[in-house]
Amino acid sequence: MENQTTVPYFLLLEFSNNRHLQFLHFFLFFVLYLATVTTNLLIISAVAFDNRLHSPMYFFLTNLALQDMAIVSAIVPKSMINSLLNTRQISYFGCAAQVFLFFCFEASDLSLLTVMAYDRYVAICNPLHYEMVMNWKHCAKIILLVWVTGILYGTLHTSGSFSILFCSNVVNKFFCDVPQLLNLSCSGFNLLEFGIIVASIIAGLGCFTFILVSYAVIFKTVLRIPSEKGRQKALSTCIPHLTVVFMFLLSGCISYLRPSAYTLSYLDIGLTVLYALLPPLFNPIIYSMRNKNIKCVLSQLWRF
């Protein structure tokens, strides 16, 4: 593969040469994928089913569920198929599509979590202006901006990653990811992708800072609520979102701030699963556990 500008295909991580272990990998990923899709579909169904949940907060939550399903759908099925067919190959354009879709939906997730923090800030700190600020017209524009941001971010990362010369085609991960692709570069340093990464860090820190400041003001306002029931009601809509934010950012930092390895490490595999697959599974669970409205609707759907 040396000195080639492109490679016809890439070789993804092979969990094992043993067919029984490959089938086990397929089964585990299938269960994880099915559980993720099911839990997120339940959230979407609950919001669509009950008129009480037709509000901006649940509208954003529905979009978060869609994005989480899209994240796992972009990377898990290919890994499952490879294990089932005893192959490691993914085409050049298939790899580019994975990079684009994964980073597109991850960026959309972070943007949406930032928007949801602002939604809670307006609802709790400026309740009289909530309907004016977060009306459906504004919400539609916000969601459009979130998706455009994700598409732009995915496009930038894809163009940056695939503008390099590849000297190898062995990707040390079960899906195509930017750090592993940069390890395959002949030139070693890619100025365009480096600039995109720096911009991504700045944007991520900006979103995180905005969320922290928003919740600092929110908690300060909540403490002033005279009734304990009022405080609990306000916190019940904030704690799940804050938990999801910290899980998203913490898993991302642990996964991407580690030096990219050239050799297989089970710790790296575990961190990849922690970052890419577990948040989409646990997000709907976290939201439903502390939200009485969602739990009530889900129980009705279960009985139905």
Most confident of 120-134, 268-282, 289-303: 120-134
41: pLDDT confidence band, cut at 50, 70 and 90?
A: very high
pLDDT at 283 over 80: yes
pLDDT tens per residue across span 122-133? 998 888 888 888
Mean pLDDT, residues 21-32: 91
Say how far apart CA 124 and CA 102 lie, in whole Å.
Answer: 33
Q: State the amino acid at position 101 in one-letter form.
A: L
- Span of 57-66, 172-181, 294-303 with lowest mean pLDDT: 294-303
* pLDDT band at residue 168 under the 50/70/90 scheme: confident
Going by C-alpha positions, the residue among 304, 283, 297, 276 that lies closest to residue 50 is 297
Could you identify the residue written with the tokens 């500008």? Answer: 5
Please report where in the chains the tokens 């990923």 appear, as a residue: 29
Per-residue pLDDT for 4 more than 60?
A: no
DSSP 8-state secondary structure symbol assigned to residue 171 = -
Mean local confidence (pLDDT), 79-97 = 92
Distance separating alpha carbons of residues 222 and 219, to the nearest angstrom: 5
Write down the pLDDT at residue 2: 44
Residue-level pLDDT at 258: 66
* pLDDT, mean over the chain: 84
Higher local confidence (pLDDT), 66 or 199: 66
pLDDT for residue 224 is more than 60: yes
- State the pLDDT at residue 30: 94
Q: Does residue 290 have a pLDDT over 70?
A: no
- In whole angstroms, how far apart are CA 233 and each of 80, 97, 224, 227? 42, 42, 13, 10
Asked whether 177 and 255 are in contact (CB, 8 A), the reply is no
Spatial separation of the C-alpha atoms in residues 39 and 46, rounded to whole Å: 11
| First-last CA distance in the chain | 58
* Mean pLDDT for the stretch of residues 44-62: 87
